Structure 1
Amino acid sequence: MPALISFFKKAATEDRVLAAEAILEKLSNPSTKLYREFLEYVLPSFTNLNKEMQSEETRIHLLHEKVSGTLKCILECYTKQDYLEATPLSDVQYKDPAKFLPLEEIYLGAKPTAALSGGTHGLNDDQIHNFRLWCLEFFIEAARQIYLRFPLKSHQMKNLRVLDPKVVMGKTIPSIAPLAVSFPLIVRENEVNELDREWRLLHNMDLSEHAGLTASQFWHAISQMRRGDGSQEFPLLSAFMKNILCLPHSSAAVERVFSQVNLLKTKQRNRLSTDALCGLLHAKRTFTDSSCYTFQITPSHLKRMKKEMYGD
């Protein structure tokens, strides 16, 4: 903040920039500092939620928990605690003033609270009142946007937590049937009993060696388990979970691929075929964790180096 004030002060006094004068006036206003400190407290909640959507790893089974946690933190700032505890999160009347805390009790973050209680803010009573109202409106709009965008009442989203290895090992969900019946195109009706049997059997196995795996790694490991005759021990369960893992939790991963395609297909290379683009994308992904001088070439790579790879 001091650096910004110095920058715009120089632009206003030395360079005579009119826009800089207006910005400097706003920055010098004591209320601006309080607004900035309030945003400094609240915005990381949305930034962290956005990071969940940006993950390359499957996170769909964690979305309900993460979104619900963020929403509850927002509601706790301005809604009565006893009402929140007695009401399901999906049914909270977040715009009802009767459910709000008194304006003076709304939580605004550590720095604004300290400034207001210590009298170091430099604002009069009307300015403080307007500041609190602005923060209340921000909380209400933030809650509204989350309710609009996320299906909190969706049982499918809640039940997807069975994908989490910690939930499997915790044995907190006795049956997978509630989730299975929601996807009739993946699991046929006559397979539900066998699927549930596999789920309950998995509960009672020692899975400690898989404790540190991600969801996709965990279910791949489960699919590799074999019976004495060499057949899969959990064929239905592993196939079902892998199909569920294919559900996208955001469009970020797809957007990254399109961005890479745009970088590869330049004006000089605007006639690249689809096969060539796919090859370049695969090569780019292969070198994500290595470089051209550390990449290990295997015999299978050499076998592919034939004239057929160049087509006609």
Structure 2
Amino acid sequence: MRPNLGEINPESQRHQLHDNALYLGVKVYELLKHPDVIIQPTDIAQFFSCCKNFYKVAAIEIKKRYNMEDPVLSKLQVFEPASALSYNFRSNFPTLMPLMEVVPRIIATADHAKKQIIDNQWRSLPNAQARHPKGLNEISEPDKFWAQLLKTEDFSELAHFALSTLSLPHANADCERVFSKINLIKTEIRNRLTVETVNGTLLAAESVKGSTRTGNCVNFEPTKEMYSRMTKDKIYGRKNDDSEDVPDIIFGEEM
């Protein structure tokens, strides 16, 4: 993380680690100490060469898909939970202005008042642990971390800015996947599905995928919060002029 990522050439030997400095996990470390493996230095060298080649190809493909010089992507480390709660991190990033300046569609350039509110909340976040939601220090995922803070009045503007910025796509792969899913959901036979229903179906699928190791609905268990939202008012919505209940699926809003 010390060099500028945009300047690193994965194919250059200058940035590659020596074999003894290459970390491949605990099991590999123990296996390389096994007597039957130690006596095969040629195979060990070939193994490390294959591992380096795998990393090299992976790095090259990542650089093809992401612009490491992107003015937003290069600043997103400020939203890592550990960074957001760190006193020491503030010595290098005392303000969010460098990031707010490059996202004018999220924060208007002339909206100095809102910028100041967000910056004040950012600067006070490490010092206001008494006002943090319970268990905030234990959350490592940025989206869940800021979603928790969004529920607080003291840091809601900062959390909304963080979540809006984190949701920006830095490649078109995710967008293309969503387009493909929509085509599978809204078919010629189901062509009258509303935008709200399609949106809710997509969000439900993402929720299931993110909540289970298998990535499907077989072992999915709804949370207590999800159950609490399954009320008559939320599922069926408002009544029409004839006072008859009209189904109004709003899973997209609720999920």
- Judging changes above 3 Å, is the alpha-carbon distance between structure 1 residues 169 and 118 closer, same or farther for their aligned structure 2 residues? closer
CA distance in 1, matches of 2:29, 2:84: 42
Contact between 2:95 and 2:119, CA under 8 Å: does it hold in 1? yes
Q: Does 1:140 align with 2:60?
A: no
CA distance in 1: counterparts of 2:68 and 2:163, whole angstroms = 24
SS in 1 for 2:232: coil
Change (3 A) 1:247 1:121: same
Question: How do 1:189-200 and structure 2 match up within 5 A?
Answer: 189-192=109-112, 194-200=113-119
Gap change, CA 1:91 and 1:189, over 3 Å in 2: same
In 2, are the aligned partners of 1:180 and 1:187 still within 8 Å (CA)? yes
Other-structure match for 2:215: none
Match of 1:210 in 2: 132
Greater helix fraction, Structure 1 or Structure 2: 1
Q: Distance in 2 between matches of 1:195 and 1:303?
A: 35
In structure 2, relative to structure 1, the CA distance for the partners of 1:247 and 1:167 (3 Å cut) is: same
1:221 paired residue among 110, 134, 152: 152
Deviation at 1:253, TM superposition (A): 8.5
- The whole-number CA distance in structure 2 between the counterparts of 1:258 and 1:223 is 39
For the Cα contact (< 8 Å) 1:223–1:239, is it kept in 2? no
In the alignment, the residues of structure 2 paired with residue 176 and residue 261 of structure 1 have an alpha-carbon distance, to the nearest angstrom, of 39
Secondary structure, aligned partner of 1:190: coil
1:270 aligns with 2:189: yes
| Contact 1:216–1:245, Cα closer than 8 Å, also in 2 | no
2:146 and 2:163 in contact (8 A); partners too: no
Q: For the structure 1 residues 238 and 222, does the alpha-carbon distance in structure 2 shift closer, same or farther, using more than 3 Å as the test?
A: farther
Alpha carbons of structure 1 residues 147 and 170: separation in structure 2 relative to 1, 3 Å: same
Which ranges of structure 2 fall in alignment gaps of 5 or more residues?
137-143, 209-221, 248-255
TM superposition shift of 1:187: 3.4
- 1:181 corresponding residue in structure 2: 101
Secondary structure of the corresponding residue to residue 201 of structure 1: helix
Q: What is the distance in 2 between the residues matched to 1:143 and 1:299?
A: 46
Superposed CA deviations along residues 210-251 of structure 1, whole A, max 9, x for unmatched, are 3426313423534897xxxxxxxx6xx676556435424675
Q: How far apart in 2 are the matches of 1:238 and 1:101? A: 38
Name the aligned partner's letter for residue 244 of structure 1.
T
More displaced stretch, 171-180 vs 87-96: 87-96
From the CA coordinates, give the structure whose radius of gyration is larger. Answer: 1
Aligned AA for 2:168? L
Cα RMSD, aligned residues only: 4.7
- Where in structure 1 do 4 or more consecutive aligned residues deviate above 6 Å? none
* Structure-2 separation of matches of 1:248 and 1:257: 14
Alpha-carbon distance, 1:300 to partner:
8.5
Cα deviations by residue, 1:147-188 (Å, 9 ceiling, x for unpaired): 333333334223334445664554523222111211234434
Query: Relative contact order, CA 8 A, sep 6+: which one is greater?
Result: 1
| TM norm structure 1 | 0.48
Corresponding residue for 1:65?
Answer: none
For 1:103-114, list aligned pairs within 5 A. 106-114=22-30
Letter of the structure 2 residue corresponding to residue 296 of structure 1:
T
Amino acid at match of 1:262: L
**Percent of pairs identical after alignment?**
15
- Runs of 5+ consecutive residues of structure 1 not aligned to the other structure: 1-67, 69-84, 226-233
Query: Is contact 2:106–2:164 with CA below 8 Å preserved after alignment?
Result: yes
- In structure 2, what is the equivalent of residue 118 of structure 1? 34
How many aligned residue pairs are there?
Answer: 210
- Give the TM-score normalised by the residue count of structure 2: 0.55
**SS of residue paired to 2:94:** coil
Residue type matched to 1:154 in 2?
D
Per-residue CA distance 1:1-40 (angstroms, 9 max, x = gap): xxxxxxxxxxxxxxxxxxxxxxxxxxxxxxxxxxxxxxxx
**TM-aligned CA distance change 1:224 to 1:122, over 3 Å:** closer
Structure 1 residues 258, 103: closer, same or farther in 2, change over 3 A? closer
Where 1:197 maps in the other structure, the secondary structure is helix
Secondary structure in 2 matching 1:120: helix
Question: One-letter code of the match for 2:37?
Answer: H
